[in-house]
Amino acid sequence: MAAGPLGKEVLSEYERKGFVLAKGMFSKEEIDLLRRAAKEDRELDQHSFGRGDGEGGTVRLSLWNHPGDTIYGMFARCETIVNSAETILDGEVYHYHSKMIMKDAKVGGAWAWHQDYGYWYQNGVLFPLLTSAFIAVDPATKENGCMQVLSGSHQMGRIEHVLTGDQAGADMERVHEAEKRLELVYVEMDPGDVLFFHSNLLHRSDQNKSDKPRWAMICCYNAARNDPYKEAHHPRYTPLHKVPDSAILEAGLKRFSDTSSNVAWLDSAKDESARSLATS
Ligand code: SIN
Ligand code: MN
């Protein structure tokens, strides 16, 4: 069984730091299932694409807009995660997208310093009322390129982003100044831990030069009251149908090919938030 959603007692920490780490939010059985499903999922693999990291490597990820009814969808829709997001955003949320970050052993690319809202701002999202749930599928350590965050950086508001490789990278002059004043935290995680973080939190991660993969699934939520004012490649308000946590184990190894529900894959051709920076 999942450990249950975050309570209101974490809000002051989230507001101060811009993130909160929920240790053991999912059981070994649940996260083992997700890992097994993902690593042998041909469709997930076929929809993966790369983004140059500006350091000579490439990050690989798959990204889809609607949660659907697969094992991945059960994680994205389960009460533990969604109720946590609703506590953080103080009201109804909807699924903005999910992605699998496939940071493979030896070749996994880096993520440049960025705020997610640096991307999403481009999509007609008026307020930074979004949160992401980073679910560790594999152990995430300093060696295999765990997430790094600048604690409290969400309080800077959105900063300018420029194209860095194929990624939206934050203005490094400001990042360097922020680094002098804010604590840099390496968020090491065990499988089943979940990191909730603010859409304006500065984060990055190193290339994976180790022999251990570092996969993670990130589910992103927007506040229902923050419906984007224009069409973009991520959805406007779409009601999210929550499921009890028990739906995860009930789904078993239900992969993308085991369902007819359309999750609206985004391949690189449609991945426009970063690319629009090249022309703006
Ligand atoms: C992301 O920012 O979407 C991914 C960061 C990471 O996997 O390190
Ligand atoms: Mn990000």
Which residues, in sequence order, are bridge partners of residue 265?
Answer: 64
Of 51, 205, 219, best ligand 1 pocket probe by most atoms within 8 Å of the beta carbon: 205
| pLDDT tens digits along 107-154 | 999 999 999 999 999 999 999 999 999 999 999 999 999 999 999 999
Give the Å distance between the CA of 183 and the centre of ligand 1.
Answer: 19
Give the Å distance between the CA of 149 and the centre of ligand 2.
Answer: 10
Of 49, 51, 55, 59, best ligand 1 pocket probe by most atoms within 8 Å of the beta carbon: 59
CB-count exposure of residue 186 (10 Å: 0-12, 13-18, 19+): middle
Give the Å distance between the CA of 115 and the centre of ligand 2.
Answer: 6
Asked whether 216 lines ligand 1 (CB < 6 A), one says yes
Which has the closest alpha carbon to 254: 94, 75, 20, 120? 75
What are the structural domains, with CATH classification, of the chain? 13-279 (2.60.120.620)
Does the pLDDT at position 160 exceed 60? yes
φ/ψ (deg, to 5) at 210: -80, 180
Helix (H) or strand (E) holding 117: helix 116-120
- pLDDT band of residue 240 (cuts 50, 70, 90) is very high
Model's pTM, two decimal places? 0.97
The total of other beta-carbon atoms located within 10 Å of residue 247's CB is: 17
| pLDDT tens digits along 21-36 | 999 999 999 999 999 9
Give the up-direction half-sphere exposure of residue 61: CA atoms within 13 A in the CB hemisphere: 23
Give the Å distance between the CA of 236 and the centre of ligand 1.
Answer: 23
Average pLDDT, integer, range 152-170: 93
Cα distance between residue 57 and residue 136, in whole Å? 22
Asked whether 111 lines ligand 1 (CB < 6 A), one says yes
Cα distance between residue 222 and residue 273, in whole Å? 16
Does the pLDDT at position 92 exceed 90? yes
Which has the closest alpha carbon to 122: 279, 14, 277? 277
